Amino acid sequence: MGNALNLEAEKIQEMAMVDLAYRILNESKKPAYYRDLYKQLTEMKNMSESEAMDMIAQVYTEINLDGRFICLGDNLWGLKRWYLVETQEESAEGSFRGKFALDDDDDYEDEEELEEEYDELDDDDIEASDDEHDDLDADYDEDADEEFESALEDEDLDTEDEDEELDM
């Protein structure tokens, strides 16, 4: 299994399980069920069954909190970078569902590539972006915002009056 990721056994033992999970999904380029992914991780790390059971919740939590992963429902996990932001919708269960679409535009192997991309931006691009923000500011209706806040305050007062009546 270590050969599939082109990693030495020693390197696998040193790596965090969440990073190994990322590498496994990245190499396979397809989502995996957590139990299958975890089984691969424990096999790669040569963990005993009791060691694996001791770590299963911790690794699940780390994957869940790591911003690189996305749960597609039914405990199926993929990499967030595979999915276009517009296609992600939160389902009733609280997990994300999305259409499978590779989005490799934002992949940078190292910081140098990112810096080169930044250096390539010229002043015209930056000014155009600033103009877009100015258009948004022009559309802002301060009077409507004040009316909304006033209505909200009135509603809060009505609710407080109802609460006092209930306490009596």
Q: Is the Cα dihedral 14, 19, 20, 23 positive or negative?
A: negative
pLDDT tens series, the chain, 168 aa = 444 567 788 888 899 999 999 999 999 999 999 999 999 999 999 999 999 999 999 999 999 999 999 999 999 999 999 987 654 555 445 555 555 454 545 554 556 665 666 666 665 555 655 565 565 555 556 676 677 676 666 665 555 555 555 555
Range of the domain at 12: 2-105
83 & 128 share domain: no
| CA–CA dist 42, 125 (Å, integer) | 48
Q: Which of 105, 124, 144 is the last residue of a domain?
A: 105
Distance CA 3, CA 24 (A): 11
Q: Are residues 10 and 91 in the same domain?
A: yes
* CA neighbor of 90 nearest in space, from 103, 75, 71, 74: 71
CA 152 to chain centre: 33
34, 63 in Cβ contact below 8 A?
Answer: yes
Looking at the fold, whether 24 and 67 belong to one and the same domain comes out as yes
> Which uninterrupted H or E stretch holds 77?
strand 76-79
List the one residue out of 21, 16, 12 whose CA is nearest residue 45: 12
